[in-house]
Structure 1
């Protein structure tokens, strides 16, 4: 199969490697022309429908892994999805959208593939609208699309702003304090990046009806406090994790559009935020990587970074 992957961040690069490992031909498309070993590279603005249609020609599947900055979701996401729909309609390519759990809002826990969408803030509204456009285009018979939804991801490559990424692991492994958004003692689902990629691959070849949502199986539903304790015990360190005071996050958000959006979605860390993927596991045959294996690989990655 030939696959066009939009985006080469932590999600896009892991998805690309998963398709390559299966023997597929993959082209990675980004504005900057970021390369992933083994894949072809394309310079592309994903919101440019004619350019995207040209890039998607001769590809069986378009996987949308791009993700604009939080504060630009309302302006940047709709043109991208419109262009993806146009390109899929023009080329006959299937669409796999990588999404998240924001559209569920304050849903009953655990969130399942059939939970009602009732967003708690604007980013959740955007995600609901994006999937709504793809679902309706599928129901009309214009395209075939699915959305693969993951809770917050972790693992090798999960640097930057990931809640269980660099800001969490590096201070703890150095015996220092990690500062967390929300209450770190609450249960939260964590999706291991290779499991997210495996779910995308499985969804792309699903033989049943499309126009549906899949959930990435969570490797853990542990709180960040519990994970910190495990890291300390397992790797002989003495780190800690504490909550960022809400007044600090709100105050900084007054000057930073990005942090203002982080504060808006912090409800996900003020009560348990847990997903269920039983239906996806049953129908796609995917399973989460064992927690100890995933944690060892993740910690090994961050220790490798600190030794460079």
Structure 2
């Protein structure tokens, strides 16, 4: 069975490790704190350390990168991690499966596909685009890489920093108001976490390198529509409202993370739509039906509020 090194054990890395281990693959999970995940060997390392990463990847068929540094550190952390990944892959021969996002595209006026140009001028978008382009350019050193891209994710395990995470569904379940970034009436692509994991697994198995894949997206509903459906289907009384402009401006001046969130607000001020039909066809994947995904998300949120 294949061997994988998964870097990161967060909302995506942890369920990916479990999925791979459950099907019988050998899995190592590498984090800075040595986080343990059932079915995998836990390693403690800084993935920017090329020597440590190379040692951890010895004998691995793939390195799956599911880590993501804090926004303010992207400008230093991502270039260093990319350098270490290139050195490790060139030395070990392991393929790289990079979990990505849509930041590299910048503002768009039509549905994004696997071939939409990486035209962002925003600094985080450029960082992610540059990392991917460096991996592609390293093909002449024998480096094999793919990137799996998703819009914002939701589902059990999506935490406070996710736009459709616990700070969105938690208030809805509790009958309060969820405050959200941007225009809450605009359609937006939302990826269900289990579908993100399924796409990563399919990309690992597909053995086609040097390209991007897109995850399926369970819905393109606006946040107002999602809140209304939650009220209608589950009897919830919570609602969603955009942040008060003055309060939002003050927060983004004083909180570094929120300042970086504001730089990406364009994704929520107009339709942000994904066409993943090519990836679905070639990888044999499809989105979880939206009602099923919403049921699981509301159920997990209710369970969390009872603890």
- How far apart are residue 245 of structure 1 and its match? 2.6
Match of residue 256 from structure 1? 255
How is 1:296-307 mapped onto 2 (pairs within 5 angstroms)? Answer: 296-307=295-306
- How far apart are residue 239 of structure 1 and its match? 0.9
Match of residue 232 from structure 1? 231
Structure-2 separation of matches of 1:245 and 1:117: 32
Structure-2 separation of matches of 1:99 and 1:165: 18
- How far apart are residue 247 of structure 1 and its match? 3.2
- How far apart are residue 160 of structure 1 and its match? 2.2
Match of residue 149 from structure 2? 149
Match of residue 75 from structure 2? 74
Match of residue 118 from structure 1? 119
- How far apart are residue 108 of structure 1 and its match? 2.9
Structure-1 separation of matches of 2:121 and 2:272: 13
- How far apart are residue 249 of structure 1 and its match? 2.2
- Asked if 1 retains the 8 angstrom alpha-carbon contact of 2:90 and 2:141, the reply is no
- Asked if 2 retains the 8 angstrom alpha-carbon contact of 1:107 and 1:115, the reply is no
Name the Cα RMSD after superposition. Answer: 1.0
Match of residue 214 from structure 1? 213
Structure 1 residue ranges (4+ consecutive) displaced by more than 4 angstroms after TM superposition: none
- How far apart are residue 6 of structure 1 and its match? 0.3
Q: Please, which runs of 5 or more residues in structure 2 have no aligned partner?
A: none
Pairing 1:34–2:27 present: no
- How far apart are residue 264 of structure 1 and its match? 0.6
Structure-1 separation of matches of 2:240 and 2:188: 15
Structure 2 SS opposite 1:254: helix
- Asked if 2 retains the 8 angstrom alpha-carbon contact of 1:106 and 1:120, the reply is no
How is 1:47-196 mapped onto 2 (pairs within 5 angstroms)? Answer: 47-138=48-139, 140-196=140-196
Structure-2 separation of matches of 1:136 and 1:70: 25
TM superposition score normalised by structure 2:
0.97
Q: Deviations over 1:90-133 (max 9, x none)?
A: 11100000000001111232100011111141110111101001
Structure-2 separation of matches of 1:35 and 1:149: 26
- How far apart are residue 39 of structure 1 and its match? 1.2
Structure-1 separation of matches of 2:86 and 2:153: 26
Structure-2 separation of matches of 1:289 and 1:172: 22
Match of residue 294 from structure 1? 293
- How far apart are residue 141 of structure 1 and its match? 4.6
Q: How many residues align?
A: 306
Q: Please, which runs of 5 or more residues in structure 1 have no aligned partner?
A: none
Q: Deviations over 1:266-296 (max 9, x none)?
A: 1111111111101101111111111111111
Structure-1 separation of matches of 2:158 and 2:95: 27
Structure 2 SS opposite 1:205: helix
Structure-1 separation of matches of 2:201 and 2:138: 21
Select between 212-221 and 253-262 the one with higher mean Cα deviation.
253-262
